[in-house]
């Protein structure tokens, strides 16, 4: 039996199959390969990608609604895996969907009740040892789970649109923090603060206005703010590139985060309106043992410099790595060797206690 459920969703029921999962898979594959062939309409070739979720009687349910709900969960998993395929329902999918739902409602509460906080990690000038900046990283003080890391909730925030509110909060909080360091610490204040922007934030045309609002609300000079965007996102999209240029027009600087992990290459650097290239930890980590990685880093440094960009080595964990990266020409370094990310008060104490190596030598 075949029926249209609504919009572009259809339901097929098979009965009297001998081996439920196997037979249903074979039939569905035949169906999908027929649907996924190009169609000719006039002189146009049209491609449709169809995905399917399968539920079998062995996962017996009481009512039609739950059968449809489970099939739909499996279908969404098929789409998430790239589409043009089928996925068989497994109970773990229900658990995952529930966890995502719980996380979403908890995150709404977190934003409303102020459970988010920022930690700060220093970025140190490798030439003179001074504190060049602080990168803000968001954390969630969950009432039951303790501190939750961004890897667990940024993707949910992006998928649900909560990233806008979350991102605005981090931006305002971080600008406010730098102004307060400038007043409290004078010369000892970091020169800049960096804030991460994710794909969904940059896709939002309102972001330029909201960054301008954060700067004027906190009275932070635009040159003191750096925004970090990732390589994959900055390289491709013309609209995103135009937005990056608008952001730069505000007077702030842009850093390309995690360089080396995405698809863009050294050759594409010159297309991007960026000031700083952050070399990913996966390049920095093997630097002591791998001549290959040292050569790679040297090339990135050289190309960046020729384009007027500076470089930051991410994830420096030892004094030896710091020395090597300085010798390879990297302008700045960041990592556990200098400090782990610290809550605002501890970061203030770190800034007060920090003596740059050149000061120690004097």
Instruction: From 175, 223, 165, 176, select the one nearest 195 (Cα to Cα).
Output: 175
Rounded CA gap, 293 and 196, in Å? 26
By the rule CB under 5 A, 173 interacts with Ca ion: no
Rounded CA gap, 226 and 241, in Å? 16
Strands 39-41 and 44-46: antiparallel
Dihedral sign, Cα of residue 300, residue 301, residue 306, residue 310: positive
Q: By CB under 6 A, how many residues form the interface with ligand C2E?
A: 20
Applying the rule CB under 6 A, the residues between 230 and 269 that interact with ligand C2E are 257-258
**DSSP states along 44-78:** EEE-----EEE--GGG--SSHHHHHHHHHHHHHHH
Instruction: Give the shortest CB-163-to-ligand C2E separation in angstroms.
Output: 7
Rounded CA gap, 133 and 84, in Å? 46
Closest to ligand C2E by CB, 75 or 171: 171
77, 106, 125, 258: which one contacts Ca ion (CB under 5 A)? 258
Instruction: Give the shortest CB-135-to-ligand C2E separation in angstroms.
Output: 7
User: Is residue 315 a contact partner of residue 341, using CB atoms and an 8 Å limit?
Assistant: no
By the rule CB under 6 A, 13 interacts with ligand C2E: no
User: Is residue 126 a contact partner of residue 120, using CB atoms and an 8 Å limit?
Assistant: no
Instruction: From 142, 260, 256, select the one nearest 153 (Cα to Cα).
Output: 142
By the rule CB under 6 A, 151 interacts with ligand C2E: yes
Closest to ligand C2E by CB, 197 or 244: 197
CA distances to 61, 193, 272, 304, 344 from 255, in Å: 52, 11, 10, 12, 22
By the rule CB under 6 A, 67 interacts with ligand C2E: no
By the rule CB under 6 A, 154 interacts with ligand C2E: yes
Closest to Ca ion by CB, 32 or 200: 200
133, 190, 262, 341: which one contacts ligand C2E (CB under 6 A)? 341
Instruction: Give the shortest CB-137-to-ligand C2E separation in angstroms.
Output: 4
Choices 8-16, 140-148, 312-320, 323-331; region in contact with Ca ion by CB under 5 A: 312-320
C-beta neighbour count of 162 within 10 angstroms = 19
137, 148, 272, 312: which one contacts ligand C2E (CB under 6 A)? 137
Instruction: From 297, 245, 307, select the one nearest 276 (Cα to Cα).
Output: 307
Closest to ligand C2E by CB, 69 or 168: 168
**Residue 336 near which of Ca ion, ligand C2E, none (CB within 5-8 Å, type-dependent):** ligand C2E
By the rule CB under 5 A, 125 interacts with Ca ion: no
By the rule CB under 6 A, 146 interacts with ligand C2E: no
Instruction: From 29, 94, 28, select the one nearest 67 (Cα to Cα).
Output: 94
170, 225, 235, 309: which one contacts ligand C2E (CB under 6 A)? 170
Rounded CA gap, 164 and 158, in Å? 8
Instruction: Give the shortest CB-332-to-Ca ion separation in angstroms.
Output: 13
Beta bridge partners of 342: 120
Q: Where do contacts with ligand C2E occur on this chain (CB under 6 A)?
A: 121, 137-138, 149-151, 154, 167, 170, 196-198, 228, 257-258, 315, 317, 335-336, 341
Q: Where do contacts with Ca ion occur on this chain (CB under 5 A)?
A: 196, 228, 257-258, 314
């Amino acid at each position: 039996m075949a029926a249209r459920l609504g919009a572009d969703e259809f339901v097929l029921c098979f009965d009297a199959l001998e081996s439920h999962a196997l037979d249903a898979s074979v039939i569905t594959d035949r169906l999908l390969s027929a649907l996924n062939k190009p169609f000719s309409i006039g002189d146009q070739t049209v491609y449709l990608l169809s995905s399917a979720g399968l539920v079998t009687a062995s996962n017996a349910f009481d009512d039609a609604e739950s059968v449809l709900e489970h099939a739909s969960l499996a279908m969404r998993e098929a789409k998430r895996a790239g589409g043009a395929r089928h996925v068989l329902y497994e109970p773990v999918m229900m658990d995952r969907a529930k966890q995502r739902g719980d996380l979403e409602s908890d995150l709404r509460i977190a934003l409303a009740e102020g459970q988010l906080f920022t930690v700060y990690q220093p970025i140190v000038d490798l030439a003179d040892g001074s504190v060049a900046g602080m990168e803000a990283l968001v954390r969630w003080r969950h009432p039951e789970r303790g501190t939750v890391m961004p890897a667990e909730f940024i993707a949910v925030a992006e998928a649900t649109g909560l990233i806008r509110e979350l991102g605005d909060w981090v931006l305002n909080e971080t600008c406010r923090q730098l102004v307060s360091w400038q007043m409290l610490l004078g010369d000892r204040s970091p020169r800049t603060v960096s804030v991460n922007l994710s794909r969904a934030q940059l896709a939002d045309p309102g972001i330029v206005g909201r960054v301008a609002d954060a700067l004027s609300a906190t009275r932070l000079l635009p040159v003191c703010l750096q925004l970090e965007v990732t390589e994959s996102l900055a390289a491709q999209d013309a609209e995103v590139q135009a937005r990056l240029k608008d952001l730069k027009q505000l007077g702030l600087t842009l850093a390309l985060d995690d360089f080396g992990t995405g698809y863009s290459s050294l050759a594409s650097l010159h297309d991007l309106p960026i000031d700083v290239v952050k070399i990913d930890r996966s390049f920095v980590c093997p630097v002591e043992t791998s001549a290959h990685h040292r050569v790679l880093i040297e090339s990135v440094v050289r190309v960046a410099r020729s384009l007027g960009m500076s470089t930051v080595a991410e994830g420096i964990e030892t004094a030896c790595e710091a020395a090597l990266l300085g010798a390879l020409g990297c302008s700045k370094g960041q990592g556990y060797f200098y400090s782990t990310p610290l809550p605002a008060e501890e970061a203030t104490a770190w800034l007060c206690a920090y003596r740059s190596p050149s000061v120690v030598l004097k």
